[in-house]
Amino acid sequence: MKIFEMIVHGGFIMYPLILCSILVWAVFIEKNIFLSKFNKQFNLLFQTAQDLLNEGKVTECVGLVKSADSCLKNPMLAVLEGKGLSKDSWEKNISRKLSETQLELKRFLWILGTIGNLAPFIGLFGTVVGIIKAFESMSTSGQSGFTVVSAGLAEALIATAAGILVAIVSVIFYNYFQTKINSLSLRLRNRMEELSEKVERI
């Protein structure tokens, strides 16, 4: 069957599944672009900040960091501007800003998790509707057999398969981004610790 024919035979339940599929791919594209941009900016900013701190240029480093995106700027400023605080307060402030950055990195990820859990149930609802239609066809025609129930069964099976497929893709993307973000967050935390050690020595 062609894709369009499958959508038609799958019944009305295919439309929310198509919407879910579009959302999954939209989040996938957005997260890839965002994380790629973040990673590049982070690597460049950290290297430049490290070079400036090696030369003792804290003020210049602060000015550079303030031009970055907020999810990068806030934890780095917490490192650079917290030397006057107590060690405990400084570390708590850095940790708090890093947690806020991690939340920003996980933006829209809940959509993938929700669709991964919801799509199979949408498909199951389509299955029930398709089976009901199959029995209605038998009742209306007064006959039994595969020919009578084939349309309803086709709708049920297509809806089930579509729901499972959307859920599988969504869960794969969700786990992929979770792993990537956790790795990036750990690397960011380690780099902030390195910068804080340099600031302490100045």
CB 33 within 8 A of CB 26: no
Q: Of 130 and 95, which is predicted with more confidence?
A: 95
User: What pLDDT does residue 96 have?
Assistant: 92
User: What pLDDT does residue 145 have?
Assistant: 54
User: What pLDDT does residue 109 have?
Assistant: 95
CA–CA separation, 70 vs 85, rounded Å? 22
User: What pLDDT does residue 10 have?
Assistant: 65
Domains in the chain: how many in total?
1
In terms of residues, how long is the chain?
202
Q: Does pLDDT of 116 surpass 60?
A: yes
What is the residue range of 96's domain?
Answer: 3-201
Q: pLDDT tens digits, residue range 50-85? A: 888 888 888 888 888 888 888 888 999 988 887 777
Q: pLDDT tens digits, residue range 141-183? A: 655 555 555 666 777 788 888 899 999 999 999 999 999 999 9
Question: What is the residue-averaged pLDDT of the chain?
Answer: 85
CB 40 within 8 A of CB 182: no
User: What pLDDT does residue 4 have?
Assistant: 65
